[in-house]
Structure 1
């Protein structure tokens, strides 16, 4: 991998695209094992410069200056100041909401422009996705002037408490008598909390972009709780995030994430190391025992056990060891450059670990049992675990982010298939500040064939995950002459339509398809979507849909996760078993080219 040059797959661009789809997937998946996406190191450097200059140095300088502490390079003077902690949370939310933190840049599929977020959310007429249809005053899928004003007001409401100095707090003075900086004025947090909720009810994309499932509770704690309770509640919040993510990673999916992510990590330079994360490269690239060990011991076990130690331990050396372990955990994730690129999120979590558990350890009066009322503790825990529990039992009702399934591999996912020439229609979408990624790459100087192969690397990445084997099986079963069609990774595709992607298939479900269809009008058989919901924690199956943009859902069914995990990414033995529960036979036969229905497939 060069600094400026990408590690392009070793294929002939002039002939490669004439090969069958799954033959292409095999070549690109094998290339991914050793090179990942092949991103030039210059791109990784740009990300790290952005995080260092804009987020860390810029944010810290601003926060310390407006808080009356500093200078910002004197870390020992401000690292445990509560107002700095509060303002860094607000600064993180602001950058996330603008779109210049997570899901930014070319690794996230934003090539030109490299930002989504504000380019979409501040534009009248852009697509808006409401989370729940029964909420009053949220009808429609078009962003109005009111939506734009709400969003811009949200950004302003975050900036105001960042810029204004703190105010004295009696509760803080009682707990930390020598504190002189105070806390963010609670009244200044009412507006961002209210606008967080209002923007989110109108458009779930904004709420998820600003990571409301994690930062909104923190703002509520800042606004309503006395200081000691605020710190303990913040500890409970971060531990719920860690433990929820750790629990979600037990299962069949996460080992696939670890192997694919390791292959894409620029800090893993040796191909021999990357190959060890697969069973028998190049014959068998399912995750190896090392990948599973890394996933479930280095990942799940650490995320569950270490937070419990931090929450209840009182020995300072044990706390220090646990803090170091969690900081290293987040630094490791940063080094892997996951495709949603949540670098700022990992930086703030590393800082929060140090601030909360070393700055205010349990043995100094900040244990869970030190909260002012045990009923308050119960209430906070109940609220924090409600959506993770519901989302794991009923993933169709809750985004995978509030469900705390970050990077667990158990995602709602989709592939988009376009009949020859049909993808170009998406560029006619009104009020869209971007074009299709294939066109973005060509605008940057990529030859058409090279741009197409680059985009096909993203679907090869999907094939290396459990749900990818099921999605490709659906394409092979449902679309006649699929080798002639253009197949796209929906996670990348949706961010060019709504400005954000983070691995959440709920952002490109039927609501988005209908919104696009209402504006463009694809003909039947031009745009077909294979979409799958996350696996419920208590079931061994995933529910899928086959959607024709013009006709709606034309097939529903399930597949067994065991079957998906057991298959090779390129499906050498054919599609995995699919249990069809409902089908529009006429539409199915038209797409699949079959004269008669396969009645034995339908239960």
Structure 2
């Protein structure tokens, strides 16, 4: 891999796209195992510069200059200042909401333009996805002037709270009598909190893009809790995020995440190490024992055990070891450049670990048992754990982000299949800031075949994950001429429609399909979606849908997760078994008739 030149798959671009889909997936999956996306190092350099200059230097400079601490290059002067901590959280929320932090750039499927967020959220007529249909005053799927005003107001309120000077409080001076910089004024946090909620009720995309499941509770703690309680509540918040994410990795999915992520890591220079994550490369690229060890010892165990130790430890050296472990954990994820590239989030969490557990150790009166009321502790823990617990039991009701399943591999996912030429119809959608990804690449002077093969690497990446085997199985069973169709990874593709995605299939579920169909009017059989929900914690199956954009849901059913993880990505032994639970019987000729028996009457 060079600085400007990537590692493109070693295929004949003139003939490769004429091969059967299975053969293409095998070739591209094997290439991914050794080279990942093959991204030139120049792209990673752009991300690093953005992270260092815009996020770290920019954020610290603003936080220190507006708080009366610093100078910003003297870390010893500000690293444990509470107002700097608060303002770095506000800075992160602001950048996430604008769209220049996570889910930015080519690694997130944004080529030209490289930013989503603001370009979509501040544009009237763009697609809006409400989270709950029964919430009053949220009807419709088009962004209105009200939505734009709410969103811009949210950004402005964050900026005001960020640059305003702090104010001391009695609870702060009681424990830190020499503190002169104070805290962010609670009154300035009322507007961001309210607008966070209002924007989220109108459009779930904004709420998730601004990572409301984690930062909204933090803003609430800043606004209403006395200082000591605020610090302890922040510890509870970060520990529940860690432990929730760690516990979600129990099961069969996560081992399939680690190998393709390591293969895509620019910090992993040796192909031999990448191959070691696979059982028997190139014959069998299911996860090896090395990958399982990395996943469940280096990942799951660290993410569950270490935070619990930090929450209760009063030993200085044990706390220091735990802090070092979690900082290394987040720096390692950052170095891997995972798709959706949540680099800012990982750097913030590394800083928060140091600030909360070394700057305000449990032994100094900031332990979980030092909360002003045990009932307040119970209330905070119950509130923070509610959505992770609900999402584990009923993943259909909760995004995988509030469910704390970041990078667990247990995701709602989808593949989009377009009849020849049908994908171009998406470019007719009005008020859309970006064209389809393939057209973005063409606008960057990619030859057509190279642009198409580049995007097909993303569906090969999906095939290397557990749910990908089930989704491809549905395509092979339902579309006889799938080799001639255009198949897209929905997480990448929906970015160009709504400006954000972070691996959450709920952002490209039926509501997005219906919104697009209302604008485009695909004919029956032109756009087929295979979509799968996350696996509930108490079941061994995942539930799927086959959807025709023009006709609606054609079939529902389940597959066993064990069958999916045991299959090779390119399914050389054929589709994995499915159990059909409902099928629309009045549709013929759109997709191939499925031979599986329907196990319950059609609804």
Q: Which residue of 2 aligns with 1:512?
A: 512
Q: Which residue of 2 aligns with 1:216?
A: 216
Cα deviations across residues 426-445 of structure 1 (Å, max 9, x unaligned)?
Answer: 00011000000000001001
Query: Does the 8 Å contact 2:64/2:78 carry over to 1?
Result: yes
Cα deviations across residues 548-578 of structure 1 (Å, max 9, x unaligned)?
Answer: 0000000000000000000000000000000
Alpha-carbon separation, structure 2, partners of 1:314 and 1:356:
13
Counterpart check, 1:99 vs 2:96 = no
After TM superposition, the structure 1 = structure 2 runs for residues 129-148 of structure 1, keeping only pairs within 5 Å, are 129-148=129-148
1:177 Cα deviation after fit: 1.4
Q: Which residue of 2 aligns with 1:70?
A: 70
Alpha-carbon separation, structure 1, partners of 2:278 and 2:598:
33
Secondary structure class of the residue paired with 1:414:
strand
Alpha-carbon separation, structure 2, partners of 1:340 and 1:484:
29
Query: Does the 8 Å contact 2:582/2:598 carry over to 1?
Result: no
Q: Which residue of 2 aligns with 1:8?
A: 8
Secondary structure class of the residue paired with 1:591:
coil
Alpha-carbon separation, structure 1, partners of 2:17 and 2:180:
66
Query: Does the 8 Å contact 2:104/2:341 carry over to 1?
Result: yes
Query: Does the 8 Å contact 2:578/2:596 carry over to 1?
Result: no
After TM superposition, the structure 1 = structure 2 runs for residues 28-47 of structure 1, keeping only pairs within 5 Å, are 28-47=28-47
Q: Which residue of 1 aligns with 2:349?
A: 349
Alpha-carbon separation, structure 2, partners of 1:299 and 1:133:
37
Cα deviations across residues 79-130 of structure 1 (Å, max 9, x unaligned)?
Answer: 0000000000000000000000000000000000000000000000000000
Alpha-carbon separation, structure 1, partners of 2:392 and 2:250:
12
Query: Does the 8 Å contact 2:579/2:596 carry over to 1?
Result: no
1:586 Cα deviation after fit: 4.5
Alpha-carbon separation, structure 1, partners of 2:200 and 2:183:
27
Q: Which residue of 2 aligns with 1:117?
A: 117
Q: Which residue of 2 aligns with 1:152?
A: 152
Q: Which residue of 2 aligns with 1:497?
A: 497
After TM superposition, the structure 1 = structure 2 runs for residues 274-289 of structure 1, keeping only pairs within 5 Å, are 274-289=274-289
Query: Does the 8 Å contact 2:413/2:490 carry over to 1?
Result: yes
Alpha-carbon separation, structure 2, partners of 1:484 and 1:581:
29
Query: Does the 8 Å contact 2:326/2:353 carry over to 1?
Result: yes
Q: Which residue of 2 aligns with 1:239?
A: 239
Q: Which residue of 2 aligns with 1:190?
A: 190
1:247 Cα deviation after fit: 0.1
Q: Which residue of 2 aligns with 1:415?
A: 415
Cα deviations across residues 298-352 of structure 1 (Å, max 9, x unaligned)?
Answer: 1010000000111000111110010000000000000010111000000000000
Alpha-carbon separation, structure 2, partners of 1:235 and 1:538:
29
Alpha-carbon separation, structure 1, partners of 2:251 and 2:302:
15
Query: Does the 8 Å contact 1:102/1:343 carry over to 2?
Result: yes
After TM superposition, the structure 1 = structure 2 runs for residues 296-445 of structure 1, keeping only pairs within 5 Å, are 296-445=296-445
Q: Which residue of 1 aligns with 2:597?
A: 600
Runs of 4+ in 1 over 6 A off after TM superposition: none
Say if 1:593 and 1:557 are closer, same or farther in 2 by CA, change over 3 A: closer
Query: Does the 8 Å contact 1:578/1:601 carry over to 2?
Result: no
Secondary structure class of the residue paired with 2:554:
strand
1:602 Cα deviation after fit: 4.8
Secondary structure class of the residue paired with 2:66:
helix
Alpha-carbon separation, structure 2, partners of 1:78 and 1:477:
60
1:598 Cα deviation after fit: 2.3
1:585 Cα deviation after fit: 3.3
TM-score (norm 2): 0.99
Alpha-carbon separation, structure 2, partners of 1:148 and 1:180:
38
Q: Which residue of 1 aligns with 2:293?
A: 293
Alpha-carbon separation, structure 1, partners of 2:597 and 2:219:
55
Alpha-carbon separation, structure 2, partners of 1:509 and 1:56:
35
1:601 Cα deviation after fit: 5.7
Say if 1:301 and 1:599 are closer, same or farther in 2 by CA, change over 3 A: closer
Query: Does the 8 Å contact 2:477/2:592 carry over to 1?
Result: no
Alignment length (residue pairs): 600
1:161 Cα deviation after fit: 1.0
Alpha-carbon separation, structure 1, partners of 2:281 and 2:50:
36
Secondary structure class of the residue paired with 2:562:
helix
1:584 Cα deviation after fit: 1.7
Query: Does the 8 Å contact 1:546/1:556 carry over to 2?
Result: yes
Secondary structure class of the residue paired with 2:487:
strand
Query: Does the 8 Å contact 1:361/1:367 carry over to 2?
Result: yes
Counterpart check, 1:228 vs 2:224 = no
Q: Which residue of 1 aligns with 2:61?
A: 61
TM-score (norm 1): 0.99
Cα deviations across residues 179-225 of structure 1 (Å, max 9, x unaligned)?
Answer: 11000000000000000000000000000000000000000000000
Query: Does the 8 Å contact 1:480/1:591 carry over to 2?
Result: no
Q: Which residue of 2 aligns with 1:207?
A: 207
Cα deviations across residues 240-267 of structure 1 (Å, max 9, x unaligned)?
Answer: 0000000000111101110110000000
Secondary structure class of the residue paired with 2:543:
strand
Cα deviations across residues 27-47 of structure 1 (Å, max 9, x unaligned)?
Answer: 000000000000000000000
Query: Does the 8 Å contact 2:580/2:596 carry over to 1?
Result: no
Secondary structure class of the residue paired with 1:260:
helix
Query: Does the 8 Å contact 1:4/1:40 carry over to 2?
Result: yes
Secondary structure class of the residue paired with 2:590:
helix
1:178 Cα deviation after fit: 1.3
Alpha-carbon separation, structure 1, partners of 2:15 and 2:598:
36
1:590 Cα deviation after fit: 1.4
